[in-house]
């Protein structure tokens, strides 16, 4: 079952509190510090991330079975280990990007 975790919104200008993730070539804010669970993302101009993730807002869901969620899905970004506690992937549904987050 999916549980909404946060909303990600791409921006073009720096946002207070953003930190750089070199692996994903993106500056991110900490959505846990946002009263509305908003994560702002500012991508490098030469970022390898899919255009849909770079240009459209996404909804992030916590999931229990990431592999199961990816079966028969339109995958934008395959499983990516963020750290020892979190693995993510991005899929497309209803024309928008969804981030799927599995906490270990």
CATH number at residue 72: 3.10.180.10
Average pLDDT, stretch 90-98? Answer: 97
Residue 2 confidence (pLDDT): 97
pTM for this entry: 0.93
Average pLDDT, stretch 14-20? Answer: 97
Residue 38 confidence (pLDDT): 98
Residues in the chain, total: 104
Half-sphere exposure of residue 9, counting CA atoms within 13 Å on the CB side?
12
Half-sphere exposure of residue 50, counting CA atoms within 13 Å on the CB side?
18
Range of the domain at 62: 3-103
User: Nearest CA to 56 among 8, 22, 5, 91?
Assistant: 8
Number of domains in the chain: 1
DSSP 3-state of 73:
coil
């Amino acid at each position: 079952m999916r549980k909404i975790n946060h909303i990600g919104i791409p921006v073009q200008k720096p946002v207070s509190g953003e930190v750089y993730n070199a692996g994903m070539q993106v500056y991110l804010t900490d959505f846990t510090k946002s009263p509305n669970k908003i994560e702002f993302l500012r991508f490098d101009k030469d970022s390898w991330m899919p255009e849909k993730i770079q240009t459209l807002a996404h909804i992030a869901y916590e999931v229990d079975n990431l592999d199961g969620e990816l079966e028969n899905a339109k995958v934008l970004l395959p499983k990516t280990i963020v750290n020892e506690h979190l693995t993510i992937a991005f899929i497309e549904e209803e024309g928008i990007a969804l981030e799927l987050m599995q906490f270990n």
